[in-house]
Amino acid sequence: MNIPALNPRRSAQRHPLSKLVALLAASCLVSSSLAHGATSAEAPSSDPVAAEFPYQYFPENIPDASVAKYFPQSWHTYAANPERNAVFTLPGDAPELLRKGVAWKFGGAGSIPLDGPALDNNFSTTAYNIGMPVGVSVVNGVVYAGDDNGYTYALNALNGKLIWAHYGWNMTMSNPLVVDGRVFVSTGNAYFNYANTMLYVKGKRPTRGPGLNSMYALDAKTGKKLWVYHFPGEAMPTAVYDQGFLYIGTGDGHMYKLDAVTGKLIFSTDLGSFVSMSSPVLAGDYLYLGGTDPNYFYAVNKETGAIVWKMTIPKLVATGIGDCTPAYAGGLVIQEATVDTGNKAKPVANVLLALNAASGKIMWQQQFGSGPVPPAMKTATPMIAGEKVFEGSPVTGDYSAFDLKTGRELWRVHLGAQIRSGAAVADGVAYVPYKSGDIAAIRVADGTLLAKKHLGGAFGPSSPVIVGGTLYVSNIYGWVIAIPLSDIIH
């Protein structure tokens, strides 16, 4: 087990939660003084508040290049590809260690025991303070993880040792993107301040995400800041990188296009609804993402920023269609939404939609079972593999496979606890993390539940990554875990 103290000089004197209190206070103070837009690389600072959250760098933990070359070499989008199936096979000459898989655990600052209760017995409080809810990126022998305590970590993928830690002054609830020696990290939070709450009450348009909402470009080797761009609203979703540009939807209801080298704004498109956790998927010239209040799903031209089409469905509730990160394959965009059932005992259900990417027309839809309103995020991340769509329900705890073209349900497995994550499909097996702290292994041919492996803690919308024989996943207790696939299916 590897649990480094991120500030060794003060770790014995201050409980991690006291740092979180300082973080929240500091975020409010700093955000009021920083201008909107990009700023250049960080300079030395004597700010005593910043000193509480120091930049960390341990070059001795960088993986050897002879092994790192067998890992993915870039990460352009959430879960690595438009299908959202982050699985990477190894070439024939890969070391046996990578084939068999490695095992380690890394606890970030403020992490709590995997075998213990959530903070205040509340999973939302835990996720929004110390969690790593949305999964990791694995590039060139390094695991990159964003933490809701404000840190982005770079870890040696073979042993979990900390290479660097960068502090971002807000929640880091995204996959770090890694391209050409740069790491791109977006930050924000899910809250509305008083002024924006009053705007909503008056029927006016609010902005979600008080505090410092940013896109950072960091040096992949050292974690040093190269530039930062500040948004008016939260930037919680994962961005998309394409041909030198970054695209992201934010809590102020816009999609932004930034130059990835300089951080310069290219354009912003007013969507009209704020983007909750819908990380855009790119297919051809169009970007697809969901927005909330009003609830619409959008296609946006990446070159011009024009909204090509938007669509909605009746009875959308809560964050509706704006929480889900879509997947794409074969001309279809797959998106999940939450709808009102009209049943007081079981008021909500999840609906899976397949949309024509060119027109937004619904090609098929499937409604899951109804149930109580789940806390926090109310949709799961769809994943596509082998002409099948795999999707879970946070409402019922069911996990299902559908035919990509027709929408016909192929099988369904009841896992019992809420499911918000995507899956990773390798060698005919779907690996699915879910709220109980377990990973289910399901045979994709017929839906047979092959195994359940209890890792502890709880999993939110954390899509797993498989490289060779290792599965990498993060959870809302503040941990990154590497586990051999052979330990899940014995």
Task: Report how far residue 77's alpha carbon sits from residue 278's, in angstroms, rounded to the nearest whole number.
Answer: 12
Task: Report how far residue 117's alpha carbon sits from residue 341's, in angstroms, rounded to the nearest whole number.
Answer: 32
Tell me if 278 sits within 8 A of 237, measured CB to CB.
Answer: yes
pLDDT above 80 (res 415): yes
In the chain, domain spans: 16-488
What's the pLDDT score for residue 148?
94
Mean confidence (pLDDT) of the chain: 89
Indicate the pTM of the whole model.
0.90
What DSSP character marks residue 166?
E
Of the pLDDT bands very low, low, confident and very high (cuts 50, 70, 90), residue 216 is very high
What's the pLDDT score for residue 451?
98
pLDDT above 90 (res 340): yes
Tell me if 435 sits within 8 A of 444, measured CB to CB.
Answer: no
Structure tokens at 299: 């296609």
What's the pLDDT score for residue 91?
94
443-466 average pLDDT score: 96
333-360 average pLDDT score: 96
pLDDT tens readout for residues 135-181: 999 999 999 999 999 999 999 999 999 999 999 999 999 999 999 99
469-475 average pLDDT score: 98
Structure tokens at 408: 């016909």
Nearest-CA neighbor of 77 among 305, 338, 302?
A: 302
Helix (H) or strand (E) holding 288: strand 286-291
What's the pLDDT score for residue 377?
67
317-341 average pLDDT score: 93
What percentage of the chain carries pLDDT values higher than 70?
Answer: 89
How many CB atoms sit inside 10 A of residue 229's CB?
A: 24
240-266 average pLDDT score: 98
What's the pLDDT score for residue 121?
87
231-251 average pLDDT score: 98
Q: Does domain 16-488 have CATH number 3.30.930.10?
A: no
91-114 average pLDDT score: 96
Q: Which residues of 5-32 are buried (b: 16+ CB within 10 A; e: fewer)?
A: ebbeeeeeeeebeebbeebeebbeebbe
Of the pLDDT bands very low, low, confident and very high (cuts 50, 70, 90), residue 50 is low
Task: Report how far residue 350's alpha carbon sits from residue 320's, in angstroms, rounded to the nearest whole number.
Answer: 9
What's the pLDDT score for residue 87?
98
What's the pLDDT score for residue 274?
95
What percentage of the chain carries pLDDT values higher than 90?
Answer: 80
Please state whether beta strands 332-340 and 388-392 pair in parallel, antiparallel, or not at all (unpaired): unpaired
Of the pLDDT bands very low, low, confident and very high (cuts 50, 70, 90), residue 482 is very high
Q: Which region among 181-185, 297-301, 419-423 has the lowest average model confidence (pLDDT)?
A: 419-423
- Cβ neighbors of 88 (< 8 A, separation 6 or more) are 71, 72, 80, 138, 465, 466, 467, 468
317-336 average pLDDT score: 93
What's the pLDDT score for residue 127?
86
DSSP string, 420-432: -S--EEETTEEEE
